[in-house]
Amino acid sequence: MPRPGWIPSSLRERPALAALLLAACLPAGCSRGGDAPWSGYAEGDYVYVAAPLAGTLATLRVQAGQQVRQGQPLFSLDAESERAAREEAQARLAAARFQAANTEKGRRPPEIAMTQAQLVQARAQLDLARRELARKTPLGPSGAVSREEIDAARSAVDQAQARVAELEASLRVAQLPSRTDERGAAEAQVEAARQVLRQNAWREAQKGQDAPADAVVSDTFFRPGEFVAAGQPVLSLLPPGNLKARFYVAEAELARIAPGQEVRLSCDGCGHPIAARVSFIATQPEYTPPVIYSNAQRSKLVFLVEARPVSAADATRLRPGQPLDVRPAPRP
């Protein structure tokens, strides 16, 4: 394939004509052949793993360059405070449950037995007061018993009856559970304690982070013993699915590319071309970055295009920053 700017040998013997052809070709951007590749590079979308809480880095279980599996522990921060808070919440939940259970019961059997004994005593006093009143009432007309004594005996009967009624009501109440409102309040306390425990358990769990996906550890930013602020990444991961190609397509060639279209990625040492699919086309043009400006791409106004490898296994053959040549996939 003739390279851009190449002059056939038949024209080399005619310098004036060759100069005219080059002068006409360069401004029009015709130096790029129809099958010349688009220039680009590999890029990675890194996953920065951080804990939402602050703390001292207790353990770092991975190192840069290591392959990790999804769910594999990565690091943990000191969680002594969160552990103590969780145990306190467990104790408060247990207390709330006991209180709620207590509202479902009546008074304790010894308390009921005491009330029953008091009721027996009150009934005996009532019986005695009635007999005393019955003995004194007939003696009133004869003057043997004064009216005041008869009134006192009648009052004693009334008091004894009231005491019996009081103890009978108290005994019935002692055998009943708490009122509906009290039971509802106790159950609400149990639920509140349960949510506090859940919150503290979550905080303790967040002090340790696991790998969100299969990935390579790109870099670590802290060592054990160092203090890590809340939300500050401890390490970065690069999952295979986050590798992509970024390349630039000239305005005149934009019609050759479309979202979902399959392309082929080539690079030094990659072996056979990597199948990828266009995932993004910029809506606005930009100027060709100097790092990929070449005689094969003379047009300065280009559109950024991204393509992701179809296979995760092929994606691992790419390295961020690696130069790429991109070509449309052959039509079937």
In this structure, is residue 57 part of a structural domain? no
Q: How far apart are CA 320 and CA 176, in angstroms?
A: 74
CA of 145: how far to CAs of 95, 132, 136, 137, 155, in Å? Answer: 63, 12, 6, 8, 16
- Select from 273, 276, 280 the least CA-distant residue to 249: 280
Say yes or no: 186 and 246 in one domain: no
Q: Return contacts of 148-155, CB within 8 angstroms, 24+ apart.
A: 153/129
Q: The domain spanning residue 266 has which CATH number? A: 2.40.30.170
Say yes or no: 183 and 115 in one domain: yes
Picking from 147, 166, 197, the residue at the C-terminal end of a domain is 197
Residue 274 near residue 314 (C-beta atoms within 8 A): yes
What's the farthest any 2 CA atoms get from each other in the chain? 167
For residues 281-303, give the mean pLDDT: 71
Residue range(s) defining the domain that contains residue 184: 93-197
In this structure, is residue 306 part of a structural domain? yes
244-265 confidence digits (pLDDT tens): 999 999 888 888 899 999 999 9
59-115 confidence digits (pLDDT tens): 999 999 999 999 999 999 999 988 999 999 999 899 888 887 777 665 667 777 887
Picking from 197, 220, 249, the residue at the C-terminal end of a domain is 197
Burial 230-264 (b: 16+ CB within 10 A, else e): eeebbbbbbbbebbbbbbbbbeebeeebeeeeebb
Q: Tell me what pLDDT residue 58 has.
A: 96
In this structure, is residue 245 part of a structural domain? yes
Picking from 138, 163, 197, the residue at the C-terminal end of a domain is 197
Q: How many domains does the chain have?
A: 2
Owner of token pair 């939402």: 52
Per-residue pLDDT for 23 more than 60? Answer: no
For residues 314-332, give the mean pLDDT: 89
125-152 confidence digits (pLDDT tens): 888 888 888 888 887 787 777 888 888 8
In this structure, is residue 230 part of a structural domain? no
Q: Tell me what pLDDT residue 30 has.
A: 36
Q: Structure pTM?
A: 0.63
6-16 confidence digits (pLDDT tens): 434 333 444 44
Say yes or no: 98 and 193 in one domain: yes
